[in-house]
Amino acid sequence: MLRKFFVAIAATTLALFAHAQTASVDQLSSTTATTENEAAETKPAISITGSADAYYRFDFAKTRANNFTSFTNSHNSFALGMASVKFEHKSDKVSAVLDLGFGTRAAEFTYTDNGLLQAVKQLYISYSPADWIKFTAGSWATHVGYELLDPQLNRNYSMSYLFTNGPFSHTGLKADITKGKHGFMLGVSNATDYRMPPDGQINKKYLVAQYSLAAGENVKLYVNYVSGKAPDTSKSEQFDAVVTAKLSDKFNIGVNGTLTNVHAWDGAKNLGGKSWGGAALYLMRPVSTGCFF
């Protein structure tokens, strides 16, 4: 009887020990899995992306001058568009971007710069003290228009007249505010496309602004504004609007319209304004139609 009692105690002890071992192994496995998941979710301090493009253009008038679009100024020639490399750092509150480009496309985009600065497409740092507000300082691609400098981000390779007439970039300080479906951007910058004001010319700051609305899951609206006095003393103000709509998983459209008033300088005052404007429709497939007036 006593032997049976000791056997029972021993069996119970072994069972408890086995259960404890199983629990420890399970807990260790769970901890290891959690650590592995956390490690997998850890993002690198800097992400690096890049792209390169080349093209061939033949003009039936047999002249490179017969061209009213950006970045394809050649005839019967293979050409390098742009090789790009982009460095990005993101944290909870601070982010930074260095976007470099090399080639004829990049040189035309940074036409006011010389030397190494021509390779800088964007260079800025952002700070978000809260989820709904972000401050950005540096040089960034313009908010105006539908098309973008990087060809792989557009519906078609050759740019429209709207993009050709700019603006391309802004250098200064801006604030972005997001409230539900609404977004607001307000900033002050150097003259359009100037990283540094030119020597011996007027140095006035520009006002840049944007209002955005997510009208639904598939429809977005952007209203853009830029105004100021250029280094050549002319004044300008540009109103721009973009609407994007996703019609299905395989098809969406974009509509862009812009109107710019330019007041030339006669040596004593700014003259009455002359206006130019345009509109374009972009389809998901690489097809674009538009008009210019």
Contacts of 92 (CB under 8 A, 6+ apart): 128
* pLDDT tens digits, one per residue of 257-286: 999 999 887 766 777 778 889 999 988 654
* pLDDT tens digits, one per residue of 219-228: 999 999 999 9
The string over 133-167, giving b where at least 16 C-beta atoms fall within 10 Å of a residue's C-beta and e elsewhere, is: ebebebbbbbbbbbbebbbeebbeebbbbbbbbbb
Question: Token match 């009213």: residue?
Answer: 68
With beta carbons less than 8 A apart as the criterion, state whether 286 and 155 touch: yes
Does pTM top 0.85 for this prediction? no
* Residue 216 confidence class, pLDDT cut points 50, 70, 90: confident
DSSP conformation class of 286: S
* Residue 24 confidence class, pLDDT cut points 50, 70, 90: very low
What's the rounded Cα separation, in Å, for the pair 95 and 66?
42
